[in-house]
Structure 1
Amino acid sequence: MFDTEKSAAAAWFRQLRDEIVAAFEALEASHDTGPFSDAAPGAFDVSETRRRSDDGSDAGGGLMSVMRGGRVFEKVGVNVSTVYGSLGERAQAAMAARKGIPGMAEDPRFWASGISLVAHMQNPHVPAVHMNTRMFWTPHAWWFGGGSDLNPCIEYDEDNAHFHATQKAHLDPHGPAHYPRLKAWADEYFFIPHRGRARGVGGIFMDDYCTGDWQADFALTQDIGRAFLPGFLPLVERRRTQDFNETDKDTQLIHRGLYAEYNLVYDRGTKFGLETGHDANAVLMSLPPLAKWV
């Protein structure tokens, strides 16, 4: 049961990954003027990741694609994975507490697939960005999650407006209530309580999303993914040739500290990946290459 749906979701996440990797490498190749244009164009280093179950048996895996030190991207990772097996006691307890799913102790099997992306940019005028979409299945329930959010260290109102407008345009065909609800969800989720501020300028986010109509929920998830490139690439094109100074770079490094704090302390995906035994390097791919704290 659900094998067809799981295969379709995993194939879509891989397709989206391939499109994004190709677009980012094209950006690197085309950056021939402005800061960092004299460097060699970056390319993704691709490696397989594996998850092992508690008894050492194969439990799925995926691809980790990371580019470091490019012309446009200082570090960017685009990971895709499909993992399965049985949830350990801690993960079972977390699922039961957070989602109210009964029966996990009796049948703790799970399957999860998704794409996760984080980009940290060379030029501090270009915003950092995060995107992920995923599907999770157990014998007791299934749901989708994910979204994308913008993390500029130097904010431009027109950039923020374009990013949000693109997301709204992709969500509106699914119903006018989706964008405001998912925007508010992102504002709440990407908030850093100990700093009393948001991680960035928001975007869209959903979790534990299941209306009971798999096709409709999958279509919404796909359009969240489709909104990413048209929402983000124009911002890169607009800002990647701008000059910057040491103060701008310092601002960027301090803002990256916020990003690192959030991902290590609050992010659910980071916690779940480590608790279920997925490749730690892939789970922590989101961390910036350099950051600082005042």
Structure 2
Amino acid sequence: MTETFDSEKAAASAWFRQLRDDIVSRFEAIEAQHEIDAPCGTFTVTPTQRTAEDGSDAGGGLMSVMRGGRVFEKVGVNVSTVFGTLGARAQEAMAARKGIPGMRDDPRFWAAGISLVAHMQNPHCPAVHMNTRMFWTPHAWWFGGGSDLNPCIEYAEDTAQFHGVLNSYCAPHGADIYPRYKAWADEYFYIPHRKRARGVGGIFYDDHCTGDWEKDFALTQDVGRAFLPAYAPLVEARLNQPWGEAERDAQLIHRGLYAEYNLLYDRGTKFGLETGHDPDAVLMSLPPLAKWT
């Protein structure tokens, strides 16, 4: 049995909220600095609520979404802290995937995290996904998350910049962290029915628990800190790049690929819907427009 971890839970929840605030602030600054004849986008912030099966409060968070901006066609930055008991389906999935003994006898859980997806106006600006989270049960605790780049038009230098920053932030935590979690991302963000990756990768990890909570939390914080220096310069460098109908068509087709992955394979999407979280917040990651050939 793990401890109640109250102080650790509070620290993790506060960190995800701070990271959310930093990212929202930087994205709004990028949006405001883009000098084109179009309205400047801002985030609409909506509280979210998770309701337990018996109708009681089971936590919630904030859904922050910008739509139709100058730079961001749709971007969402969500944070949540939820708790309660896992339903039968979630219990079975957790016990099967993680091998946690006693889950059916004591299915209590607590989870907090941040989840971000950005879909861009300019097809030369890559879409991106990032999330980090902490999960606790009476039987175990762990961290998970990562970030990955999803360009519809690939540029080798953008891929190198993104991966290089992730590597530099992972390096202080061990020489094996970046290559191991890069390989995990390559496997996780693969779309079997299309026989291809959904983007150019990044890092992904789950079930990260060395037994040293402070050490593992520090890694997760650095994964979050790496996001803006890895991604924001790519947007700023390409937001004025000319594009036309062909590039937009490629973007919409790639978004269809992204939607297929998120609806069929993404663990976070499945977990959020299975545990009764706000479906609008869970499905925030879906693009505003997509196309299939």
TM-score where L is the length of structure 1: 0.98
Q: CA deviation at 1:257?
A: 0.3
The separation in 1 between residues aligned to 2:284 and 2:5, in whole angstroms, is: 30
Tell whether 2:28 aligns with 1:25. yes
Task: Tell me, in whole angstroms, the C-alpha distance in 2 between the residues paired with 1:96 and 1:115.
Answer: 24
1:78, CA displacement in angstroms? Answer: 0.2
Unaligned 5+ segments in structure 2 are: none
Identify the residue that residue 244 of structure 2 maps to in structure 1.
Answer: 245
Q: Which amino acid aligns with 1:140?
A: H
Name 2:149's counterpart in structure 1: 150
Structure 1 unaligned blocks of 5 or more: none
Query: Where in structure 1 do 4 or more consecutive aligned residues deviate above 4 Å?
Result: none
1:51 equivalent to 2:54? Answer no
> What is the match of residue 69 of structure 1?
68
**Deviation, structure 1 residue 273:** 0.1
For residues 226 and 57 of structure 1, what CA distance do their matches in structure 2 show?
A: 35
- Output the amino acid matched with 1:79: N
Q: Give the C-alpha shift of residue 106 in structure 1.
A: 1.1
Q: Which AA in structure 2 matches 1:51?
A: R
User: What corresponds to 1:269 in structure 2?
Assistant: 268
Q: Deviations over 1:38-65 (max 9, x none)?
A: 1111000000000000000000000000
Listed as ranges, the matches of 1:106-185 within 5 Å are 106-185=105-184
Q: Is the partner of 2:27 in helix, strand or coil? A: helix
Q: Give CA deviations for 1:100-140 in whole Å, capped at 9, x if unaligned.
A: 00111111100000000000000000000000000000000
Give SS of 1:48's match.
strand
2:6 corresponds in structure 1 to 3
Residues in 1 aligned to 2:37 and 2:160: alpha-carbon distance in whole angstroms: 31
Q: Distance in 2 between matches of 1:175 and 1:136?
A: 22
> Which residue does 1:98 correspond to in 2?
97
How many Å apart are 1:166 and its aligned residue? Answer: 0.2
Deviation string, structure 1 residues 59-89 (Cα, Å, up to 9, x no partner): 0000000000000000000000000000011
Letter in 2 for 1:17: R
Q: Does the residue aligned with 1:227 lie in a helix, a strand or coil?
A: helix
| 1:171-207 Cα distance to aligned partner (Å, 9 max, x none) | 0011111000010000000000000000000000001
Measure the CA separation in 1 of the matches of 2:150 and 2:104.
39
Q: Secondary structure at the match of 2:211?
A: coil
Task: Find the residue that maps to 1:77 and give its secondary structure.
Answer: strand
TM-score where L is the length of structure 2? 0.99
1:256 corresponds in structure 2 to 255
C-alpha distance after superposition, 1:216-260 (max 9, x if no partner): 100000000000000001000110000001000000000000000
2:74 is paired with a residue whose SS is: strand
CA–CA distance in structure 2, aligned partners of residues 284 and 256 of structure 1: 14
Amino acid at match of 2:13: A
